[in-house]
A and B are shown apart, each in its own frame.
Chain A
Amino acid sequence: MAKFITLRFLQGILVLLGIYAVTFFLVAATPGSPFSSERAIQPEILAQIEAFYGYDKPTSERFIASLGNILHGDFGPSAVYANRSVTDIIAESFPVSLKLGSISLAIALLLGIPAGIIAAVKKNTWLDYVPMSTAMAGICLPTFVMGPLLALVFGLIFAVLPVAGWFGPEFVVLPSATLGLYYAAYFARLTRGGMLEMLNQDWVRTARAKGVPERTIVWKHCLKGGLIPAITFLGPALAGIISGSFVVETIFQVPGLGQWFVKGALNRDDFLILGLTVLFASLIVLMNLLVDIAQVALNPRLKYD
């Protein structure tokens, strides 16, 4: 297992390097500049600014310099936000996203997985139809509809929760519910599918014929395998949820990472784009590694190799 992890880890590093290089050169090739502004900047001033951020050097030289910095954990300054470094920005917004993400994920798992299991076990009864139709609606109802809807109902009509902001525990409820419900719907459908596949296996029929109680079949024999699709989805979901959902952050004015992704791209804040890409890619790589480990643990047919 140690060998497996080491190997995957090294693979991950390679993937990250590749992603970094591709992003760097794509960003460099994009038209526009972080320093262009609606009011014309005189060429002499522009040259000073560019020199300050190292833009006066050729792209390849900049790439090597920035790669060196990143390996030392220095993501550079923000090209747009004076006196803030990319590390500052990430250090401020990542914990917010982590909090929002983990609470949302908890909601998603606590609602989605039990709903999926019940729906599979009670297939074609109202315990299947009601949660699954709700889940279908949840998937179809994007967060930019769900969010304002929740804000309208709980924030404006009933006025029980704050409509936006990020100041105390009550501010977490609506954004994490919006994000959590959306993912809960996915988990519910994936779990139901996985469980149904297990419950239709020949050996389940054999077990039932031998008189094994239904409870044991579900909980002991099918649950592990039935959760595999959901676990597979967990990796990307976790990375996506933690790196922030731009839409939910915008609707509820949450100071997380998601807003920076969009601001970075729109401002052409090259260093910020690169820093966030590395962070996001690392999260995905890490989560996928954890998911692979979990899958092998759950599925005896897979082996570490």
Chain B
Amino acid sequence: MKLLRNVILAACMGLGLASCGDRERATDVAAREGILMMGNGSEPKGLDPHLVTGVPENKIISALLEGLISYHPTDDLKPEPGMAESWESNDDYTVWTFHLRDAKWSNGDPVRAGDFAYSWQRILTPALGAEYAPMLYVIKGAQAFHNGETKDFSTVGVKVIDDKTLQVTLEGPTPYFLNMLKHYSFFPVNPRVVEENGGMADRASRWSTFENYVGNGPFVLKEWVTNQVIRVEPNPTYWDAGTVKLKGIEFYPVENAATEETMFRGGRLHMTNTVQPDKIPIFKEKMPNELKIEPYLGTYFYRVNVTRPPFDNPKVREALAVSFDKQLLVDKVTKGGQAPATGYVPAGIPGYETSDKVKYDPELGRKLLAEAGYPGGKGFPKAEILINTSEAHRKIAEAMQAMWKQNLGIDVGIYNQEWKVYLDSQSNLDYDISRSAWIGDYVHPSTFIDMFTTGNGNNDTGWSNPQYDRLVAQAQVAQSEEERLGLLREAENLLLTDLPIVPVYWYTRVYLKDPRVQGWYPKLLDNHPYKYVSINAE
């Protein structure tokens, strides 16, 4: 080995590669300099908070921009002051007043209350075509403005009292509004810069390119090489610049989990975005200090098309839901410490009782299937599970297929479609059973429950239950948080009785983290305020 190594070294020197040999790893150099190197999934589709919808984008944008309320480093619910220094609401949480601090944009402009009004008008402008605009429907009149019923933004409940005071009137009592404000769809953009680059409604605006980007967050863009790296450095004009510990963050868009792992082990990343499921047991044994498995606010489930027989029969759906061993599935197939989903809303939301309604009970499953007219699976029509093309989804589907065969005696097939085609099939109800998942936008059960109301664009099951719709509507105007959570819990119970979905597991975030990275805590939505993160040299 030693000889071979010397030969290779000699060959490298012969090739004039000065950097060969026992050099310091890139992560060591970066750690000494206070720079964090992160795997970030994929190349961001953009960095305009009003146009993007993805997780990799969110991770970068939250370094560059800051909303009224910011993320707390450890507590998912606690509002951390951001651009707003203080805030208050009236008694029924329908009118909120935010007092802005003295803060500056990275180009030196002051951040004014009017900037938020401009930004929210921008995301709600129909011509911009912002996908996340419905997040703002919580604001009074926002939906009507967004649907083009009025062109007058003064009808929307956003009022600039003065440069430092913003008053927001909501559609109904919303105590969790502060949590929603942490989402990037509520983030501000600099109106002057947007206007100089094509104006409010220009989808192709170049304000968010590397050259033009102006933010108000703890970091500013330093370099953006497509498909390679995005580097940010501390923003000297940030109001809390003294707290920022890192000297920079490098976001690497590594899509391939195997490459990401090699980069982590080869000293090119302090943190990965993900870990290959098959490798988790190995890392558990060999790198227990690096491997992180943390709860994440998401549910993996199967949608069932209730408009197609035999799935129009609730007994059939329940039989499917109780006849596979979730524990076995997460232990042997997904392996990432996921929790078997006995309900729909993931565990871990403070104040909300997690459902344990859907448990593994093959005996009950067989009984229900027999009652539905398919004793022992006899006469059950051939059904198919639709998945989007991915090895991980296929493995899960195969496990389900085997367990349903064993427990119920029914045969289901599996077929895959490319992502965009799969999305089309799902929304056109062109499937029997479809693999699905949902990640919360904010920490509240409503981000999961609201979508299964009648005709909701994300329902995609054909299921409709007037009582459910009523409960959700009541929850939206409930006078107390306790009452609201109770109503949502009741709605979830109804969903789990009718079962247009088969809950599978609750997500975890599985990643590798260099122990030198400090101030990075488990968060349900994986939002980490970078200003508190630091890295040790040793």
**Chain A residues proximal to chain B, CB less than 8 Å:** 30-34, 36-42, 44-46, 48-49, 52, 77, 80-84, 89, 92-93, 148, 151-152, 154-156, 158-170, 173, 250-253, 255, 259, 263, 266-268
Contacts and interface: CB of A to CB of B under 8 A. Distances in A.
B193 interface: no
Nearest to A46: B129
13 contacts: A34-B420, A37-B423, A41-B131, A46-B129, A80-B45, A82-B48, A82-B208, A83-B204, A83-B209, A148-B262, A251-B258, A252-B259, A266-B419
Given A36-B424, A162-B268, A169 B17 contact: yes
**A contact patch SS:** loop
Contacts, number: 160
A41 B130 CA distance: 9
B204 A253 contact: no
Given A37-B131, A155-B262, A259 B227 contact: yes
B491 to A, nearest CB: 19
A152 B420 CA distance: 35
Nearest to A32: B420
B45 A159 contact: no
B537 interface: no
Contacts of B127: 48, 52
Contacts of B21: 160
Contact of A45 (B48, B52, B133, B425): B133
Given A156-B266, A253-B263, A255-B226, A48 B128 contact: yes
Contact of B126 (A39, A48, A158): A48
Contacts of B480: none
B206 A253 contact: no
B130 A45 contact: yes
A88 B500 CA distance: 45
Given A163-B262, A163-B268, A253-B259, A31 B227 contact: no
A253 B228 contact: yes
A27 to B, nearest CB: 12
Interface in B242-264: 252, 254-256, 258-259, 262-263
Report which residue of B15, B130, B209, B259 has the largest number of chain A beta carbons within 10 angstroms of its beta carbon.
B259
Given A44-B126, A253-B263, A165 B268 contact: yes
B134 interface: yes
A252 B268 CA distance: 12
Given A89-B226, A93-B227, A44 B268 contact: no
Contacts of A165: 228-229, 252, 263, 268
B29 interface: no
B38 interface: no
Contacts of B134: 42
Nearest to B206: A83
B424 A32 contact: yes
Contacts of A38: 423
B523 to A, nearest CB: 21
Given A159-B267, A170-B17, A251-B256, 10 more contacts: A37-B423, A39-B53, A48-B126, A82-B45, A83-B46, A83-B208, A163-B266, A170-B19, A253-B252, A268-B420
B55 to A, nearest CB: 11
Given A162-B268, A169-B17, A156 B262 contact: yes
A161 B20 contact: yes
A168 B228 CA distance: 13
Given A52-B129, A52-B203, A255-B225, A154 B8 contact: yes
B350 to A, nearest CB: 25
Which 8 A-B pairs rank lowest in CB-CB distance, beginning with the nearest? Answer: A40-B457, A32-B420, A82-B46, A163-B266, A255-B227, A48-B129, A49-B129, A32-B421
B458 A39 contact: yes
A158 B418 CA distance: 39
Contact of A158 (B8, B43, B129, B229): B8
Interface of B: 5, 8-9, 12, 15, 17, 19-22, 25-26, 43, 45-46, 48, 51-53, 126-134, 146-148, 203-206, 208-209, 225-229, 252, 254-256, 258-259, 262-263, 265-268, 418-421, 423-425, 427, 456-458, 460
A64 B512 CA distance: 50
Contact of A155 (B9, B19, B266, B418): B266
A169 B262 CA distance: 20
Report which residue of A160, A161, A266 has the largest number of chain B beta carbons within 10 angstroms of its beta carbon.
A160
Contacts of B266: 151, 155-156, 159, 162-164
Given A159-B266, A164-B259, A253-B263, A82 B204 contact: yes
A243 to B, nearest CB: 15
Contact of A160 (B12, B126, B460): B12
A93 B131 contact: no
A83 B202 CA distance: 10
Contact of A42 (B8, B267, B268, B457): B457
A33 B420 contact: yes
Contacts of B263: 163-165, 253
A93 B128 CA distance: 29
A46 B131 CA distance: 8
A246 B256 CA distance: 12
Nearest to B4: A158
Contacts of A39: 53, 131-132, 457-458
A156 B25 CA distance: 11
A82 B423 contact: no
B23 to A, nearest CB: 8
Given A166-B228, A250-B259, A173 B17 contact: yes
Contacts of A83: 46, 48, 204-206, 208-209
Contacts of B204: 52, 77, 82-83
B262 A164 contact: yes
Contacts of B48: 82-83
Contacts of B268: 162-165
Contacts of B256: 250-251, 253
A87 B455 CA distance: 40
B210 to A, nearest CB: 10
Contacts of B43: 81, 263
B45 to A, nearest CB: 5
A44 B144 CA distance: 12
Nearest to B451: A40
Nearest to B13: A160
A38 B262 CA distance: 30
A33 B21 CA distance: 49
Nearest to A166: B228
A95 to B, nearest CB: 12
Nearest to B12: A160
B424 A31 contact: yes
A288 to B, nearest CB: 29
A83 to B, nearest CB: 5
Contacts of B255: 250, 259
A158 B148 CA distance: 63
